[in-house]
Amino acid sequence: MESHHVPMISGPGNNAAAGIAQSQSRAMIAAAARRRDTSHNELYYEEAEHERRVRKRRARLVVAVEEAFTHIKRMQEEEPKKAPGDVMDPREAAQAIFPSMARALQKYLRTTKQQHCHSMESIQQHLAFCITNNMTPKAFLESYLMPGPTLQYGKDHWLGRRWTLISEVSVTSGLKDGSVFLLKCVDFSLVVTSKKIPYIQMSEEYIDPKSHKFVLRLQSETSV
């Protein structure tokens, strides 16, 4: 049998085609790098703008709450001069000052994505509690300015949520160390990993109360 080899002919046309392919490849790499840099810049400026907006709305909220609590303090100072029937209870006082801070609080909660955690009713209840116990504006704001859990349940939301359990093992079997399962609802997914708690052995030791008492003896002759 005869075998035929077809010689490859190298010429100006082939070199030109290879050069065009290399140029196109370099152009594609450069375009991808430009897109990557643009994406980085966009993400940086988006995050910086979000942080600026959070700081701005936080400052407005703090000022609004401090002014509302100053008004409450003024009202408390004027209460002794009022007739007994004109004195407001903490719930009425909270309802009176809440509108002055409600807008700033709602904007801050939306910006920090906490609006689903705090209803207006729960905020007013917390405000009344703080007024009753003579707490400071900082103590009232701690529940909203400090980072909290992603998901919270109120008495009105517990029955309205439906969760699905996803697990590789039977849900009727007992939990073991390292078991992993997933809880899903419409808005959230919760991955749960079970871990063994350490074994702690506790013992009780009785100490006679009389063993650590002392007597203070005063000298009869003392100078006055």
Identify whether residues 88 and 182 lie together within a single domain. no
> Lowest mean pLDDT: which of 67-71, 112-116, 117-121, 146-150?
146-150
What global pTM score does this model have? Answer: 0.55
C-alpha pair distances (Å), 169 with each of 162, 176, 189: 21, 11, 18
Number of domains in the chain: 2
Q: Is residue 181 part of a domain?
A: yes
Size of the chain in residues? 224
| Position 73 confidence tier, pLDDT thresholds 50, 70, 90 | confident
Chain position carrying tokens 């007013």: 124
Q: In what order do the strands lie in the sheet with 164-167?
A: 164-167, 180-184, 189-193
Which residue range(s) make up the domain with 72? Answer: 19-147
pLDDT of residue 163: 81
CA distance 94 to 200: 47
Do 143 and 69 share a structural domain? yes
Last residue of a domain, one of 88, 113, 147: 147
**Cα separation, 158 vs 154, whole angstroms:** 6
| Separation between Cα atoms, residue 78 and residue 76, nearest integer Å | 5
The per-residue pLDDT for 206 is 81
Residue 56 is assigned to a structural domain of this protein: yes
The model's pLDDT over 99-136, given as tens digits with 9 standing for 90+, comes to 999 999 999 999 998 888 888 899 999 999 988 888 89
- Percentage of residues in the chain having pLDDT higher than 70: 71
For 3-45, the pLDDT digits (tens) are: 555 454 445 555 555 666 677 777 777 667 677 767 777 888 8
Average pLDDT, the chain: 78
